[in-house]
Amino acid sequence: MAWNGWKVIDMDSHIVERPHEMYGEQIDPAYREKFDRLRRALEENVKRGQTPSVASSRHAVIAPVVSDNSLGEPDSFGMVPREFILNPTGTGRVNFGRPQRGELPKIDPVVNWDVGARLEGMDASGVDIDVLFPTHVSSYCALHDVGFESALYRAYHRWVRDFCSQAPERLKWTVVANMRDSRTGAEEIRHWGKEDPNCVGVYLPPCGPNSMLLDDLWLDPIYQAALDSDLPILVHGGTARPPYQPGTFDLRGTWFLQHSLCNPWAGMAALGALVGGGVFDRFPGLRVGVVETAAGWLPAALERFDAHYYLSPGHVPLLKRVPSEVVKHGGCYFHGVDTWERTLPFVVDWVGEDVLLFATDWPHGDTAFPEAVQQIDELPLSESAKRKILGENAMRLCPRLRE
């Protein structure tokens, strides 16, 4: 056990993909020519000193977007760096969550492809199990060819399966479902649910392509396949990348507002659509975890959802319970925290000990690594609440994590 005898499970860790290096041998033969064109585009970006990203920057090769403008001086011309990656005045990263402390260490990108280095990082931070999400894979929904989108998901699944198989007791992964082709997405869920016990959940964005919400009936095959496979739906936000969240285009590309607000807004929309759309009533037994959207807003949002349930129940005809009761006592909804949130004791008081999940976002630059577990342990919470947040709630959400 990594911390005080408790099992610690990070319900939001990442692979920062390098598709041009990772997926070549995993691509279906029918799509190798298309993948080769994508690979060349990514390699050209690397030659120009850019990251090999498919989305979330003005230099992305599939879905470029402005997400680096400044407030007060909007004409930044893409020249303002994201300071949370490295402290410009020091040798490490800004300790954004606990600024009174010293720097946080740099994160070596090798943890994205070297299992040994990743395990060393997990040991240093007191984490027993990483549940891996991709960084940009869901943005393949921006491609015109839905078949190629599915082929890229399959290639990622094969790659991450092999990656996790090198340390199967500590590395787990999530299957990405194609929201534009939900039947193919459902087939992929059923396949990996049977094929690999290290696949522990189904990754969906908070909002789907073409402004699809999570109550959309088009997604029913995905929910049914997840339920039949005893895999939870794991909803994960992402700033300024497809499928686009609220705030992507109406905040003038200002990173300060986008990165502060878009993920929480998307989390609110995901929670409201799932509960208000009656998804838990239509699929009894389905479990959902929402991560990387922060948690401090939960009490306020639930109060508003409750009020509007009473104000106009006709607008949520499939909802048979007060929204806060679904979250607090349904046993079907779980929610990831940002470990540096000082409001977490109030959130625990409001929603209870059985809802929140430990989630670090490592190895992205805005993680509290390696202090994340320590930040939770320092909060004025009961030992029971800390133990549940750090691991026990994750095992209730994802039964395969108990194995």
pLDDT at 83: 56
Residue 306 carries which DSSP code? H
- The letter for the amino acid at 31 is Y
DSSP string, 209-252: GGG--TT-GGGHHHHHHHHHTT--EEEE--TT-SSPPTTSSSST
Residue 23 carries which DSSP code? S
The domains of the chain are located at 9-14+76-402
pLDDT at 82: 63
Residue tagged 């995993």 (tokens) = 26
- The letter for the amino acid at 360 is T
pLDDT at 58: 86
Residues of the chain predicted below pLDDT 50: none
DSSP SS3 for 17:
coil
Alpha carbons 113 and 132: distance in angstroms, whole number: 12
Neighbour tally for 51: CB within 10 Å: 14
Contacts of 173 (CB under 8 A, 6+ apart): 131, 132, 157, 160, 161, 163, 164, 198, 199, 200
The gap from C-alpha 60 to its chain's centroid, in whole angstroms, comes to 20
For Cα atoms 341, 344, 350, give the angle at the middle one, nearest 5 degrees: 150
pLDDT at 87: 54
CATH code, residues 9-14+76-402: 3.20.20.140
